[in-house]
Structure 1
Amino acid sequence: MSSALPVDELRTHFPALDRTHNGQPVAYFDGPAGSQVPQSVIDAVADYLANRNANCGAPFDTSRETDATLQAGREAAADLVGTDDPDTIAFGPNMTTMTLALSRALAATWGPEDEIIVSRLDHDANVTPWVLAARTARARVRYIDVVADDCTLDLGSFRDALSNRTRLVAVGYASNAAGTINPLEEIVAESHSAGAMTFVDAVHYAPHGLIDVAGLGCDFLACSGYKFFGPHVGMLWGRRELLETVQPFKLRPSPDALPGRWMTGTQNHEGIAGLTAAIDYLAAIGRSAAGPDAGRRKCLAAAYRAIGDYERELGQRLVEGLQQIPGVTIWGITDPERFTQRVPTVSFTHERHTPRAIAEHLADQGLCVWSGNHYALPLTETLGLEPEGTLRVGLLHYNTAEEVDRLLQVLAAFLD
């Protein structure tokens, strides 16, 4: 591996990486379902609960400190997604819950003559909420199809579906099953030209690449902290003018002004403290490259450049190894020249063994992977892979070449 990322040092931040199973080190390839967390995140959660656990808005110290904790979380999340307006960040339980709430609110502005567009490549959390909302509004749902050969979006079908009747285009940043990075700038620009809003599910992209809502030009974007080394907290960004004018479903005493307007009920305060720590952990990776006086956003950009370089090498090692195993079909981009178009999440099937059987064998060896549809049900249905789905290996920057080689060795022996 030629990357300069200090992986061995970074691994020391993650207590979970010391775990063993049957005398062997556990290797976590389950990041797409939820990453491990560094000690700084664990400490931040514990510190909040131990020292400033309270609700917001009161004049006593712990409440004021809780207000400051939430503000710090909004500022960190704003740096993560690339906005200079922290009040356009809202927190909630997870991306799915927040998308369901937003879809319900937007549906109140749609009617029977309207259309929305969703993708067959997406996690179902970016499909079914919009389908249900459209059903309520009696709007029509149209779909972006998938090119099965490499699990990319069929942009021709997107353009066929897009019209002046389109009110919303919902698309993922990266596929949590196939790893494909979608051409969002192009999709957003064409959607806006037709007068449609855009919603981006960045859950799977967030641990792998720098998000830039200003550069994308999208209208809403959501992700979940537990996918990028933080606690189970969701976050939603939206354009200020939309967050202020779309009417959320909320209680009467809750704020009408941002940022509280879209945060229903008491938040996961300790989780938000941990989310800030997770973003700061990522920023620290890039601090030496960005310079000691660089702001958090600049440090995050440097960190993601290093992470991207390392993960592409690691992903190529995995893909090339899988291609040497007879009977394996990889679902997604496999051309090394196109690895900038994917993240190192690799799904495959085998001609004889089911994904579940392979996952169970790997689990016995201390190798954590997922089998099934990964909630990317629109994709597995489109590819004809139901009900078994795929075997998914998800790499993150704390994974190593040695872990990948061990995985490939165990797979080759089992699938022989």
Structure 2
Amino acid sequence: MTMLPITQVRAAFPALALSDDGAPRLYLDAPAGTQVAGRVVEAMSHAMIAACANDGGKFRTSVAAGAIADTAIASAAAFFNCGEDEVIFGLNTTSLFFQLAPLIAANWQAGDNILLTRMDHDANVAPWLQAAEARGVEVRFIEWDRETFALKLETLPHLIDARTRAVAVGHASNFLGTINDVTAVCAAARAVGAVSIVDAVQSAPHIALDVGAIGCDLLAASAYKFFGPHLGMAFVSHRLQGLIRPLKVRPSADVMPTRLMPGTPSFEAMAGTTAAIEHLAWLGIAAGTVSADAPLRQRLAAGLAAAQAHETELMRRFLTGIAAVPGLTLHGIANANRLHERVATFTFEIAGHSADAIAANLAARNMFVWNGYYYAWEPAGVLGLRDRGAVRVGFTHYNTLEEVDALTAALGQIAGRA
């Protein structure tokens, strides 16, 4: 297996060189937001200096801003493996879903229904709940198995029918780490003509996305979860574009992306997102699995494959380490033979220690983790964790085996305290 040159990869992230009072920072908070690649910082700085203007003008900085937007759209299209006229940008995935939900729901009627999951981040639940309430539409949920941590796909035929108007599903859980079979869910939606919606925020840093293979109508991800700036981007299929009437100012062009992207975008964030995508593509070059002159899509696939291979080893090491931690309960797939079914996001509890206390103890060691329920309202509710919460750590391609060992050693020390 070709391995990532981890020293070279870590050098691509300026924040990884930081320390506090001699203690290096151990970033384990990636599911909430990754560290930013250096090329992202440089691209955004360049955009704000050399292209600080609105697009559409004849003068140099305006032309440069337009070029940034065009390149970002092309890069996002390669990222999603879709047409350039099927991409829009927004503040983040949550905002994009809230923006699009009332447009998608405009023709829903009493007697219709939508299907959501008990596994999703609330960004892919609340917008559709509110839209359903406004239109008087029934809401159904697909549950997940407490033993396998997988959606109960066998129940789909009982949940989707001719009156189902939309189906929303997360590609990877930000709480359990499970990678869902979104292709099967979208196929079931497509069979009855329902709009299929995929939240790819947690999968985007780890898996090459292919909206054609998934078969969805709408898919969104946030660049700050894959080593870029705070910006959301979405794939909107031609079919879905034909179903919705956009909210737009009268003078704006009725073409993509303008028709579904009202107002002036953040050109600097678009430049940073392009750079983040280029970073992922560079990983394949660094691993020696693709040439530098290969098409962007090919480099992306190779880069994410290299990242996934590295993260699989991190996951394996973490599961081995926590097996020796007394009182630790992992909420998610723990079988080393099923690592292909999850991303490197782990949520757990340690008996006798609150999530808040564990996170504080690790923070004192300069290990950055989250505690709570991370807007995963539904899965936290299933597990009864909305009040006390749990600890979440996440690994990505810039983390090392040594960092995993340091974490599990710290957890062992915490668990061993009376």
- Which residue of structure 2 aligns with residue 104 of structure 1? 102
Cα pair 1:101 1:249 within 8 Å, conserved: no
Q: Does 1:327 align with 2:321?
A: no
Per-residue CA distance 1:268-314 (angstroms, 9 max, x = gap): 11000000011011111113412243101001111111111110110
Amino acid at match of 2:20: H
Contact 1:41 1:277 in 2 (8 A): yes
Encode CA deviations 1:15-72: one digit per residue, 9 max, x unaligned: 1001213421101000011000111100000000011111121222211111111010
Q: Which amino acid aligns with 1:54?
A: A
Cα distance per residue 1:316-369 (max 9 Å; x no partner): 111221121111100011111111000010000122111111001100100000
**Partner SS state of residue 85, structure 2:** helix
Residues 145, 158 of structure 1: 8 Å contact kept: no
Partners of 1:60 and 1:241 lie apart in 2 by 37
Aligned match of 2:132: 134
Larger CA deviation: 85-94 vs 153-162:
153-162
Secondary structure of 1:53 counterpart: coil
Q: CA deviation at 1:244?
A: 4.1
- Matched with 1:123 is 121
Q: How far apart are 1:259 and its partner, in Å?
A: 1.5
Maintained 8 Å contact 1:29/1:367 = yes
Over the aligned positions, Cα root-mean-square deviation in angstroms equals 1.2
Rounded Cα–Cα distance in structure 2 between residues aligned with 1:252 and 1:149? 53
2:258 aligned to which of 233, 257, 260:
260
Counterpart of 1:383, as a letter, is L
Distance 1:332 1:3, change over 3 A: farther
Letter in 1 for 2:162: N
Question: Structure 2 unaligned runs (5+)?
Answer: none
Q: Give, in whole Å, the separation in 2 of the partners of 1:387 and 1:254.
A: 47
> Which residue of the partner structure matches residue 173 of structure 2?
175
Whole-Å Cα distance in 1 between the matches of residues 361 and 143 of structure 2?
A: 34
1:65 aligns with 2:61: no
Among 245, 248, 265, the alignment partner of 1:247 is 245
8 Å CA contact retained: 2:156, 2:188:
no
Matched to 2:231, the amino acid is: V
Tell me which residue corresponds to 2:48: 49
Aligned position for 2:13: 14
SS at match of 1:286: helix
8 Å contact kept, 2:50–2:64 = no
Superposed, which structure 2 residues align to 1:131-170 within 5 Å?
131-170=129-168
Letter in 1 for 2:209: I
Q: Is the 8 A contact 1:120 1:143 kept in 2?
A: yes
What residue is the counterpart of 1:354 in the other structure? 354
Give the secondary structure class of the aligned counterpart of 1:153: coil
Task: Give the conservation status (yes or no) of the 8 Å contact 2:132–2:138.
Answer: yes
For these two proteins, the number of residue pairs brought into alignment is: 414
**Residue number in structure 2 paired with 1:226:** 224
Aligned with 2:378: secondary structure?
helix
Which residue of 212, 215, 219 corresponds with 1:214? Answer: 212
Aligned to 1:300: 300
CA distance in 2, matches of 1:158, 1:395: 32
Are the aligned partners of 2:347 and 2:393 in contact in 1 as well (CA < 8 Å)? yes
Structure 1 consecutive aligned stretches of length 4 or more whose deviation exceeds 6 Å: none
Which AA in structure 1 matches 2:246? Answer: P
Aligned to 1:399: 399
3-state SS of paired residue (1:63):
helix
Amino acid at match of 2:107: T
**Partner-residue secondary structure (3-state), 2:289:** helix
CA distance in 1, matches of 2:58, 2:261: 21
Q: Secondary structure at the match of 1:305?
A: helix
Task: Tell me how far apart the structure 2 counterparts of residues 402 and 144 of structure 1 sit (CA, whole Å).
Answer: 39
The residue that corresponds to 1:24 in the other structure is 23
Aligned residues of 2:319 and 2:336 also touching (Cα < 8 A) = no
1:380-414: per-residue Cα shift (whole Å, max 9, x none)?
01111121221001000000000010011111111
Match of 1:5 in 2: 4
Aligned mates of 2:96, 2:76 — CA distance in 1: 16
Q: Which residue of 2 aligns with 1:88?
A: 86
Paired position in structure 2 for 1:237: 235
- Matched-pair contact (CA < 8 Å) for 1:143–1:158: no
Do the aligned residues in 1 keep the contact of 2:197 with 2:217 (CA within 8 Å)? yes
Cα distance between partner residues in 2 of 1:364 and 1:253: 55
Mapped to 2, the partners of 1:140 and 1:251 lie a distance apart of: 32
Provide the rounded CA distance (Å) in 1 between the counterparts of 2:292 and 2:328.
47
Q: Matched residue of 2:161: which SS?
A: coil
Bigger mean CA offset, 153-162 vs 341-350: 153-162
Mapped partners of 1:21, 1:139: distance in 2: 53
Write the letter of the residue equivalent to 2:321: G
User: How many angstroms apart in 1 are the aligned matches of 2:357 and 2:20?
Assistant: 18
Question: Partner of 1:167: helix, strand, or coil?
Answer: strand
Gaps of at least 5 residues in structure 1 are none
Distance in 2, Cα, partners of 1:412 & 1:20: 24
Work out the percentage of aligned pairs sharing the same amino acid.
40
Q: Does the 8 Å CA contact 1:150/1:331 hold for their aligned counterparts?
A: no
- Counterpart for residue 373 of structure 1: 373
Paired letter, 2:398: Y
Q: Say if 1:7 and 1:398, in contact at 8 Å, map to a contact too.
A: yes
Contact 1:3–1:310 at 8 Å: present in 2 too? no
Structure 1 contact 120–146 (Cα < 8 Å) conserved: yes
Provide the secondary structure at the position in 1 that maps to 2:139.
strand
**Structure 1 position 3, deviation (Å):** 5.5
Distance 1:141 1:65 in 2: 46
